[in-house]
Structure 1
Amino acid sequence: MARKRNHLTTDLLADALHRLGIGAAAVDREALRLRMDLPEYNGFAEDDAVAAALRDGHARRAFAETGVSALRSTVPALRSEPGGDAALVWRLRVSIPLLDDGRLDLRIDVPPGETAAEILDEMALGGDPTRRLDGLRAALAATDTELKGRLRQAVARLRGQIRDDLHKIGADAPTYIAHLDRSLRARIFTPSPNLTHVIGDTLKTVRTRAKVVAREESGRRRLRDRVGFGGYIDKFVPARRLNRRIIFHMGPTNSGKTYAALEALTKAPTGTYLAPLRLLALENYEALLERGLRVGMVTGEEVLGEPDPTHTARTIETADLRRPVDVAVIDEIQMLSDPDRGWAWTNALFGIPAKTVIVCGSDDALSHVRRAAEAAGESLDVVTFARKTPLVALEAPVPLEAVQPGDAVVAFSRRAVHEIRETLVAEGRSVATIYGALSPEVRRAEAQRFRDGEAEALVTTDAIGMGLNLGPLKRVIFSAVTKWDGTTTRSLTNPEIRQIAGRAGRFGHQDEGHVSATDEASLGPIRDALAGAPTAPAADTRFYVRPDLIAIEAAALELGTASLADVLVHFSRATFYDGSPFQPSEMEEALEAARAVDKARLPIREAFAFAVAPIDRRDTVSKAVLDRWVQARAAGTFVPALRARVDGELDDLERTVKLAAAYLWLGRRFPDTFDEVEATKALRSRANAAIEAQLQRTASQTIAAGVKR
């Protein structure tokens, strides 16, 4: 009943907004109702009152854009983050040193107090960051003093414990202090009824680890650094020189976290955006171009744009870990935990040489990001973003025959996508189609057809979870809540469900997003995920890493081998000691590829490039093509552009596009061997066009039963 009552109230506000000449969809009416303190049912308000509330909201937004930075420069201890509607949530950063010389700050973020909050509100409404500034400082000082008084005894105990630790470990005291300092700089405490216990428990764990680190035998540490990844962090010399600041924009989909990061990137003199997908790199390359910047784009296959750009958009695997920039944005940071590609996020998080590193992602990645900041000795600030539109799990399932215009049906295999597509077309729906085997260009074209209304419904895999603007999408309907992950069929995790479901109800297009499933049994896991049910802690929380070329050549020299497979086995079995924070990335495919490449007796540097070339190694045709390319490189002959028909079945066309991408990828590394780049690009364009034409042609008529999947 509460939801219906709210709708009645917000409908009344919508009427008032229309009378004021303002589109109702452009205003968060529920937030406006709360700001005006209207009752949930029949909350009528005069037009003048609505207009005044909107003016207040505009003033607060303007202050957030211009006044906050000015205020922070005069009162550095203040922190702010977006709250509901246009409001700002203010915090006072209280720092309490734990050593007599002022080191080891305990940092606590607390509400600024009633008087300070009143002054801050006046500043926002008046657009004046100097209004009653002395009074604000006095009120904040009182809050600071009051908190320190409450914690005096607890802090005294902590100081005594730290002094005892330092006395016992003696000569290793500097190492102990350095580790404790890194850990404290990555932690911000917040008020709670048991704050002293939280601080005490946290410091007990951190002190224990600091003592272990301090007491490690130095020769053993050097050995680990030499044979394993113990010195992994220090190898990123340009990054270590910068004393980087890490900011985590943490929030769900449709919360504006990446938009805010790109705003900061745009204002920086130099910067880079690191994307999980070529499609996202391209979209943000175009977005940065539209803002008038000198922009370049780099992916594994191509380089676009200005020859000496101030800003670049890149796929994460191509991150430049040598050239310093002012701001770097790392998107979808939760991909750190991906066994196949997580190594690229690990490299970027530890190694991107930027003064400010903004990482964007869900709260599932917080523990990883915090541990990375601690390990690198860098500061971490967490900025929390809330979703801009509500996401609602529907009470009943939505069978395929009930799919409506604006819906997306999600499946988890290419075959399932095509089966659902056939069903919807037979029901009279025009359909756009997106799945992982399609190239970024085709996925983008299909998404555009859905946005433009040319296709009523969208059938997709979890490929929609990242990198697509799906504008009018209102309902996401899961056809399953399990997926094959390459090893086994498993249930979707709560973060995976939230990531996919979050594409519904895009801010500016819909008032809220709806999520359902095609069957009753799947609704329970979806409701649990949207309600914020936590995911079971990962059994292994180490960072994924993959040996780079320098490490591979050094290991080959140490082992006295020219075999890439031997070197990879060495890394995967022998160099990740017990207790290491790192683990090898999934290497089975790479090992299989290395064994095949070793037969050609290429230099290990070249063998590594072919072993990690982006082809589908489950496809025998693609593997055979790559084998021929390896042999051509070994023989010193040219590799001509691909020759393929573009009037065949979908899977043949998809293979052609993937092999063309692999040819271009290798062409960037071996231009003297793969020298027909333009012809290969032309073939890829023709194949993409043929795929898109075939999808369009069959989007609104029954697909013949014999279509090959």
Structure 2
Amino acid sequence: MILSGRGVTAVLGPTNTGKTHYAIERMVAHGTGVIGLPLRLLAREVYTRVVEKVGAQNVALVTGEEKISPPGARFQVCTVEAMPRETRAAFVAIDEVQLAGDLERGHIFTDRILHLRGRDETLLLGAGTMRPILEQMLPGVTVVERPRLSQLFYAGSKKITRLPQRSAIVAFSADEVYAIAELIRRQRGGAAVVLGALSPRTRNAQVALYQAGDVEYLVATDAIGMGLNLDVDHVAFAQDRKFDGYQFRHLNPAELGQIAGRAGRHLRDGTFGVTGRVDPFEDDLVHRIESHQFDAVKVLQWRTKNFDFRSIHALRQSLDAVPPILGLTRALPAVDQQALEHLSRYPEIVDLASSPARVEKLWEACALPDYRRITPAQHADLIATIYSDLVLHGTVKEDFLAEQVRRADHTDGEIDTLSARIAQIRTWTYVSNRPGWLADPTHWQEKTREIEDRLSDALHERLTKRFVDRRTSVLMKRLRENAMLEAEISVNGDVFVEGHHVGQLAGFRFTPVSGTEGPDATAVQSAAQKALALEFEARAARLHAAGNADLAISSDGLVRWLGDPVARLSSSDHVMRPRVIPLADEQLTGNARDHVVARIERFVNFHISTVLKPLDDLSRAEDLQGLAKGLAFQLVENLGVLFRRDVSEDVKSLDQDARASIRKYGVRFGAYHIFMPALLKPAPAELITLLWALQNDGLDKPGYGDLIPMLAAGRTSVVTDPGFERTFYKLAGFRFLGKRAVRIDILERLADLIRPLLQWKPGTANRPDGAYDGRRFTTTTAMLSILGATPDDMEEILKGLGYRADVVKPEEAAAFLAAQTASAPQETTAGEAAPQETAADEAAHNPDHDDADAETTSEADTGAAAAPVAEAAEPAAADAGEPAAAETGEEVAEPKPVLLWRPGGRNDQQRNQRPHGDRRGQNSRPQGETRRDERDGRDGRRGDGRPDNKFKGKDGGKPRNDGKRPEKGDRRDRPDRAASQPMRFESKPQRKEKPIDPDSPFAKLAALKEQMKK
């Protein structure tokens, strides 16, 4: 029977009209009362407010999962589902009555609206869209419409990261809510999260986090639209479609208005809009939301309250009853009816439901809410287990219940895991609160409540840890309060403001920690900088007074103070005087900044002048004149290394006094380079490469910084990397020679070893082709040793220096070595000092090879220079009495060819002064590329042994000149001297020998040499 509307007052209106507050005031004005609310969370809020008015002993809280019933309680705060079917209370109120049109829960609200009344007063609270249907259903009802206390305005579309503070972002799936909350945490410091799936305790804790101002943003589902009183200024819709339990659909204008109405509280206006991928609202929709004009509810969901419990079949038929009056529509099967449909197919359940009492008990068990959101079949299985225990044992088995509760009693895991456990424990909380279902309900009510609270607290902690940056939220709160921030700086530069780590101070630059981007980052940085103002001044003073030991220049061009970067170097007009650019925040200004810059500049100049002292001294030399001064200038500009070929004319023009004036500054005139040996050490070489890189934008060029560790490791030669910038090899003290690079000083030592082997030796027979055997040499163990190279590497190096290889058979090589060995006793009468004497003699008469020739080799190197590689003498093994391979029957391996090296056709000085691959005329070829006769292992001959006409004249005899003028000093192209005179090493005619000082240690050696010549 449907009751009339007499004595019923419908208080209708949009959100923020004070309807719930009005109902509470009316209820406590009566002696007894019952109020029904749509959410357990809202019921908890109203319960707290009523307790504040009349005391806890007078208020009961009744929900499906919780029951607080003090003896003699006069007021009941319930969820609508938990409201009594009949009551003798003086006052009854039902909130959010527009939910009577909801497909899932609407029939419950309709039943309470039609059948529950207070003795003195009944209030129906809801939206204005309910007025027509209420007036139709309840004749005589009194309708009171309340206007909204504040206005609502549309703010359009904004990016999530640009939403104003005190905003609520609405989405309709947990995944979307979590994704938005994570984004806001990274960009704006943090957000509270409210979902319908959270336990009431967790939702309360999250709402309290937002209400207290610890976070400025709230991310929620449409759960916030159901009466939650939040301090929200703006509501942004990140989604406008949701799954209503049956299908995905767009929210209707009334639903959008219900949620948007949460913006603005009391007399403060609010705004709403869209964000994310939601299209801006159309003008008509905006107007309807702002003016609260929505379509009226035309029908209410209805399900009969007269159940037939004679059998399961009769109960199912009664649930299919049609509404008795217009304006009601039969509701879709709810969770309880779906469970009943599944259970009616279980034979064991049908057998147990053999009486009306048992059928009623089955229907009561089917009302178990599906908190876990599992499939209807799984939910039906759980209900079947509970129902079987209730029928067969009178209560649910303790062992079964204990096992289910134990599985949920764990607080480890992440958000999803904890949410699933809370849903599970809520199921057993509901079971423990059902009258007559458990043997000891009080124990299990306390047990399940305790577990749910612990899980809820753990979930709140996980949500806060994941979606709230406590550091930023606390700072924002203090800034809003205009409080003086307390800051401290640890010894390692960590900056703490109000006890929270906000960033790192390195030198004079403050770097906020990650996760504080966007507008909040500016506020955090501002707070930190305000607290760091005095620290900048103090640091500037300490740096100004710091010693040079506290400062350093790193390979990346940064000047570091106690490890922290304080400046970077940049190019300037002079390579030795780079420009200093301070690395400091804007807070370092005035005299403090000037003192910092001046101190760093002093250090940089001191460091360069100390590490590169030879170069700095040379740049300041005032005693150099003319060509010597020009050569010194070039050396400084090229940072201490010049290819001799590039300045050969200048070097030839220098007299001995000019050479001596430059040499006293540590300059060495080598066979291949003019260089300063002191700059080849790792520290000077590293600084030189840095200065060049600064001047030529080379800090990011390949190879920078990779060669210095090799030099520091004592490497004398390295395999070249084609991707490296070649200039870095030169600056690091290496000569680039194709596939290998050799350290400059080691290359000069190699020249010292080769030079004695190329001296003319009397008594050596001429070869038929006109080449002089004394102009050829083989590699020695000393050469390989000082280079740290293999024979193959040595071949690449010698080719890079311009030497040509004659490939000969081992027999011919043995004959060549035997000829050298035959004259060895006469040539080395003075022991191993003969090469030194020759070098000294050359130095005295050849100014083009002063240092290269005069610098003597070590005793080990000189002795080894006369010892050829062992492989050339292998054919002589038979002379030692070894049995022949043929006699032993062993397979005879083909002898390995032997290379005899000779200058590449020009005098050595010209050849060595041109880089490999920079030759002109018929010998010109790219660097690292071998001539055809070198590649084929032949000396101008084809594969059949005949002369190659490409290199001969028409008659196949003398080499042709190709119409080119012979170069100075090249005797190979002079027909009158090619066969009669030996090729000399000097590039100029031999000078008249100067008299040797009789007191010189080389006098006896020179005299011995004269005797040998005679």
TM range (shorter): 0.5 to 0.7
- Residue of structure 1 aligned with 2:437, choices 671, 678, 683: 671
Asked whether the 8 Å contact 1:255–1:386 carries over to 2, the reply is: yes
Verify: 1:469 aligned to 2:229, yes or no: yes
Match of 2:337 in 1: 591
Structure 1 residues 318 and 579: CA distance shift in structure 2, 3 A: closer
Match of 1:544 in 2: 301
How far 1:404 moved relative to its partner? 3.2
Q: Distance in 2 between matches of 1:520 and 1:277?
A: 28
Asked whether the 8 Å contact 1:319–1:352 carries over to 2, the reply is: no
Structural mapping, 1:444-593, within 5 Å: 444-471=204-231, 473-507=232-266, 511-518=268-275, 521-524=279-282, 526-532=285-291, 534-536=293-295, 541-548=298-305, 551-552=306-307, 555-557=308-310, 562-563=311-312, 566-573=313-320, 575-576=321-322, 581-587=327-333, 589-593=335-339
Match of 2:468 in 1: 700
- Secondary structure of the equivalent of 1:448? helix
**Under a length normalisation based on structure 1, what TM-score does the superposition of the two structures give?**
0.59
Match of 2:366 in 1: 611
- Residue of structure 2 aligned with 1:402, choices 122, 145, 162: 162
Asked whether the 8 Å contact 1:447–1:468 carries over to 2, the reply is: no
Q: Distance in 1 between matches of 2:103 and 2:206?
A: 29
Asked whether the 8 Å contact 2:301–2:329 carries over to 1, the reply is: yes
How far 1:439 moved relative to its partner? 1.1
Q: Distance in 2 between matches of 1:326 and 1:479?
A: 44
Structure 1 residues 420 and 343: CA distance shift in structure 2, 3 A: same
Match of 2:60 in 1: 296
- Secondary structure of the equivalent of 1:544? strand
Bigger Cα displacement from structure 2, 269-278 vs 632-641: 632-641
- Which AA in structure 1 matches 2:250? S
Q: Deviations over 1:577-622 (max 9, x none)?
A: 6865543332153333113444333411121122121124741576
Match of 1:41 in 2: none
Structure 1 residues 250 and 537: CA distance shift in structure 2, 3 A: closer
Segments of structure 1 that go 5 or more residues without pairing to the other structure are 1-231, 235-239, 704-709
Structure 1 residues 533 and 680: CA distance shift in structure 2, 3 A: closer
- Secondary structure of the equivalent of 1:470? coil
Asked whether the 8 Å contact 2:370–2:379 carries over to 1, the reply is: yes
- Secondary structure of the equivalent of 1:247? strand
Structural mapping, 1:84-483, within 5 Å: 232-233=1-2, 244-292=6-54, 294-354=58-118, 355-374=120-139, 379-394=140-155, 396-471=156-231, 473-483=232-242
Structure 1 residues 533 and 304: CA distance shift in structure 2, 3 A: closer
Asked whether the 8 Å contact 1:252–1:502 carries over to 2, the reply is: yes
Q: Distance in 1 between matches of 2:77 and 2:371?
A: 25
- Which AA in structure 2 matches 1:397? S
- Secondary structure of the equivalent of 2:219? strand
Q: Deviations over 1:613-653 (max 9, x none)?
A: 11247415766544443443344233424122221232332
Could you say what the CA RMSD is over the residues aligned between the two structures, in angstroms?
2.6
Asked whether the 8 Å contact 2:104–2:334 carries over to 1, the reply is: no
Structure 1 residues 288 and 244: CA distance shift in structure 2, 3 A: farther
- Secondary structure of the equivalent of 1:458? strand
How far 1:426 moved relative to its partner? 2.2
Match of 1:146 in 2: none
Q: Kindly name which structure, 1 or 2, has the bigger radius of gyration based on alpha carbons.
A: 2
Q: Distance in 1 between matches of 2:121 and 2:292?
A: 32
Match of 2:688 in 1: none
- Which AA in structure 1 matches 2:146? F
Q: Distance in 1 between matches of 2:79 and 2:334?
A: 23
Q: Distance in 2 between matches of 1:526 and 1:444?
A: 32
- Secondary structure of the equivalent of 2:138? helix
Structure 1 residues 284 and 268: CA distance shift in structure 2, 3 A: same
Q: Distance in 1 between matches of 2:18 and 2:202?
A: 26
Asked whether the 8 Å contact 1:516–1:526 carries over to 2, the reply is: no
Q: Distance in 1 between matches of 2:22 and 2:439?
A: 43
Aligned-pair identity (%): 25
- Secondary structure of the equivalent of 1:669? coil
Q: Distance in 2 between matches of 1:577 and 1:468?
A: 33
Q: Deviations over 1:61-99 (max 9, x none)?
A: xxxxxxxxxxxxxxxxxxxxxxxxxxxxxxxxxxxxxxx
Match of 2:677 in 1: none
Asked whether the 8 Å contact 2:13–2:148 carries over to 1, the reply is: yes
- Which AA in structure 2 matches 1:677? Q
Segments of structure 2 that go 5 or more residues without pairing to the other structure are 470-513, 516-1014
- Residue of structure 2 aligned with 1:683, choices 451, 465, 469: 451
**Under a length normalisation based on structure 2, what TM-score does the superposition of the two structures give?**
0.42
Bigger Cα displacement from structure 2, 433-442 vs 588-597: 588-597
Structure 1 residues 619 and 359: CA distance shift in structure 2, 3 A: same
Structural mapping, 1:36-75, within 5 Å: none
Structural mapping, 1:618-637, within 5 Å: 618-620=373-375, 625-636=382-393, 637=397
Q: Distance in 1 between matches of 2:292 and 2:19?
A: 22
Asked whether the 8 Å contact 1:616–1:623 carries over to 2, the reply is: no
Structure 1 residues 245 and 533: CA distance shift in structure 2, 3 A: closer
Match of 2:953 in 1: none
Match of 2:426 in 1: 661
- Which AA in structure 2 matches 1:449? L
Bigger Cα displacement from structure 2, 278-287 vs 525-534: 525-534
Bigger Cα displacement from structure 2, 262-271 vs 575-584: 575-584
Q: Distance in 2 between matches of 1:340 and 1:315?
A: 15
Q: Deviations over 1:326-355 (max 9, x none)?
A: 221111011111122122222221222312
- Secondary structure of the equivalent of 1:698? helix
- Which AA in structure 1 matches 2:265? R
Match of 1:649 in 2: 414
Structure 1 residues 588 and 406: CA distance shift in structure 2, 3 A: closer
Q: Distance in 2 between matches of 1:569 and 1:356?
A: 36
Asked whether the 8 Å contact 1:281–1:315 carries over to 2, the reply is: yes
- Secondary structure of the equivalent of 2:24? helix
Asked whether the 8 Å contact 1:271–1:327 carries over to 2, the reply is: yes
Q: Distance in 2 between matches of 1:465 and 1:577?
A: 30
Asked whether the 8 Å contact 1:447–1:469 carries over to 2, the reply is: no
- Secondary structure of the equivalent of 1:522? coil
Asked whether the 8 Å contact 2:304–2:319 carries over to 1, the reply is: no
Larger relative contact order (C-alpha < 8 A, sep ≥ 6)? 1
Verify: 1:640 aligned to 2:409, yes or no: no
Larger fraction in helix: 1
Q: Distance in 1 between matches of 2:425 and 2:203?
A: 17
- Secondary structure of the equivalent of 1:424? helix
Bigger Cα displacement from structure 2, 283-292 vs 578-587: 578-587
Q: Distance in 2 between matches of 1:301 and 1:674?
A: 16
Asked whether the 8 Å contact 1:666–1:674 carries over to 2, the reply is: no
Match of 1:76 in 2: none
Structure 1 residues 578 and 634: CA distance shift in structure 2, 3 A: closer
